[in-house]
Amino acid sequence: MRLISQIGEWFDHRLQLAAPIRETVEHRVPRNTASWFYVFGSAALTVFILQIVTGILLAMVYVPSAAEAWTSLQALNHDVALGWFIRALHGWGSNFMVAIVLIHMVQVFLFGAYKFPRELTWIIGVFLLLMTLGMAFSGQVLRFDQDAYWGLGIGASIASRVPIIGPAAVKLMLGGPIIAGATLSRFFALHVFVIPGMLIGFVCLHLLMVLKLGINEWPMPGRLVKKATYDAEYHELTKKDGAPFVPYAVWKDMFFAAFILLAIAACAMYFGPFGPTGRPDPTIIQTAPKPDYFFLWLYALLSLLPPSMETPALLIGPVIAIFVLILLPFLSGEGEKSWRRRPIAVLTIMLIAIVLGTLTHLSGYTPWSPHMNAWSGDPVPDKFLRDTTALQRQGALVFQGKQCRNCHALGDLGGQRGPALDSVATRLTEDQLIRQVIQGGGNMPAYGKNLSPAETTALVAFLETLHPRTQAPARDAARDMVLGVEQDRRQDSQR
């Protein structure tokens, strides 16, 4: 025992770190901050450390070459002992990290922790969020599979839309004229050296400021932040109603961090690693690439925005969002901290959560994409063919053969790009159906050049049968006037 303390003293005489470390761990924090709401920052740090460790382990096997990356990931999954588990830890760690960073940010926002004097801590936090997202995207690229390849194409298409420097930005991003070996190498450098280096530096600054300025006290409704008096009030609070960080508050951080690590390990064990999906071979075009879950909302947004809005939204939207986040502590650096008296803050969070949640949910079944195999895979349900004439059945064949089904559902099967046609005859008259088929419009291609008159007649005859038994098909009142109702009725009875 004496030997250990002697060795300790020998080191401390040279390093002189014992006193500052003791001071740091025992610094007084307001008692009410020892709360389960205050554990997300330390959890994010824990996951970050897990990512560094597992990342280094993966780099020992991974080959950052477009020719071999995919094969080296297969080797990790199947040949290297527990390689699949390390990959799964790293993949699930990244999902958890994005989620925890976002939750941490929401908590900081709702607790008013970004207000004076912690403005810079918040701003650095915004940069940490951006870097975390940068890690998530570049990490997806390193999983060099079909999704990664086409995801890069999407990234390049977005970058190319920047005015003036767009084309140069694309070549800078890809490291050449196409997505190839140089692209992967450069994303490897970003993912492994550049962004992690910056992350470590910014995390240290972030932590240093938390220590220097003290953890945000539990917000009390009515206790307003004033620049002139805040520092003295906070000092008074930690003196009167404070407790040393270790052990008073730290145990909750430790429990939560351990719980998160356990959750990541459990997901990794149970669900396994992410991909890689198909080989990154651009000549295989039977693929529908999708981003990882934290960018799914963006994928949905890009499908749903009107074409003319897209470029401005893509290029200006992120700039405004980052600008607002950085300006936030300067716009409301003082005043009320408690979420109980900040209804707009609460509503903003709810609105953002609902929007992101809805877009992510939509991306799960992509109603905007044609179902490429519906025309050959989903037959017309029997009930739509009962009691039909030969012409109408011929129309049903045209309906399938011309791939209308890829975009239009019948009996809940088929694409959702266009409206379901189960009762289209009640919405459009015969003339309107013909016009819509031939000329398209409202986001439907025109089929005039692709359908013979006979095919159009048959198709519309089939579409005219698509109405509930109890509801008559739509009819053009003006036509009744001109041609006479009687004549139309006679035609109906002939059918």
Partner 1 sequence: MTNENSISRRGLFMKLGILFNGLVATAIAVPIVRYMLASVMRGRTNSYLDWVPLGSVNEFPEGETRLATFRNPNVMPTDGKTVDTACWVRRVEGDQFQVFAINCAHLGCPVRWFPQSGLFMCPCHGGAYYRDGSRASGPPERGLFEYPYKVQKGLVTIQAGELPTPGAPTAALEGKKPRCA
Site string for partner 1, 174-213 (x = CB under 8 A): xxxxxxxxx-xx----------------------------
Q: Which is nearer to partner 1, 138 or 366 (CB)?
A: 366
To which residue do tokens 């000549």 refer? Answer: 283
Q: Which of residues 425-464 bind partner 1 (CB under 8 A)?
A: 439-441, 443-447, 449-450
SS3 427: coil
Q: Which of residues 411-430 bind partner 1 (CB under 8 A)?
A: 417
Q: In which residue are the tokens 């994303």 written? A: 187
Q: In this chain, which of 7, 17, 56, 172 binds partner 1, going by CB under 8 A?
A: 172
DSSP 226: -
Q: Is 369 left (phi over 0), alpha (psi -120 to 50) or beta?
A: beta
Among 401, 454, 484, 485, binds partner 1 (CB under 8 A): 401
Closest CA to 403 of 443, 445, 442: 445
Other Cβ atoms within 10 Å of 365 Cβ, number: 9
Quote the CA–CA distance of 444 and 447 in Å, as a whole number: 9
Q: Of 95 and 369, which CB lies nearer to partner 1 in the complex structure? A: 369
> For residues 395 and 454, what is the distance between their CA atoms, to the nearest angstrom?
9
Select from 59, 120, 302, 313 the one that contacts partner 1 (CB under 8 A): 302
Supply the minimum distance, in Å, between the C-beta of residue 457 and partner 1. Answer: 18
If the CB atoms of residues 8 and 440 are measured against partner 1, the closer one turns out to be: 440
Residue of 117, 153, 278, 411 interacting with partner 1 (CB under 8 A): 153
Span near partner 1 by CB under 8 A; candidates 12-20, 118-126, 395-403, 460-468: 395-403
490: its two tokens? 């006679």
Is residue 160 a contact residue for partner 1 (CB under 8 A)? Answer: yes
Report in angstroms how near the CB of residue 134 gets to partner 1 at its nearest. 18
- Contact, 206 vs 121, CB < 8 A? yes
Considering the complex, state which of residue 8 and residue 167 has its C-beta at the smaller distance from partner 1: 167
Site residues for partner 1, 305-324, by CB under 8 A, read 305, 307-308, 310
Among 40, 84, 122, 375, binds partner 1 (CB under 8 A): 375
Helix (H, G, I), strand (E, B) or coil at 30: strand
Provide the 8-state DSSP code for 29: E
Q: Establish if 285 lies at the interface with partner 1 (CB under 8 A).
A: yes
Of 61 and 397, which has the nearer Cβ to partner 1?
A: 397
- CB nearer to partner 1: give 281 or 492: 281
Binding residue for partner 1 (CB under 8 A) from 154, 194, 254, 391?
A: 154
Binding mask 60-99 for partner 1 (x = CB under 8 A): -----xxxx-------------------------------
Q: How far apart are CA 228 and CA 212, in angstroms?
A: 18
**Total residues at the site for partner 1 (CB under 8 A)?**
70
Beta carbons within 8 Å of 9's beta carbon, 6+ residues apart: none
List the one residue out of 352, 316, 427, 405 whose CA is nearest residue 110: 352
At closest approach, how far in Å is the CB of 449 from partner 1?
7
Residue 117, Cβ neighbours under 10 Å: how many?
Answer: 17
Which residues, other chains included, contact 157 with Cβ-Cβ below 8 Å and sequence gap of 6+? none
CA distances from 62 to 59, 136, 237, 457 (A): 5, 17, 52, 60
Assigned token pair, 335: 């005043």
Residues making contact with partner 1 (CB under 8 A): 65-68, 149-150, 153-154, 156-162, 166-168, 170-172, 174-182, 184-185, 279-283, 285-289, 299, 302-303, 305, 307-308, 310, 368-370, 372, 375, 401-404, 406, 417, 439-441, 443-447, 449-450
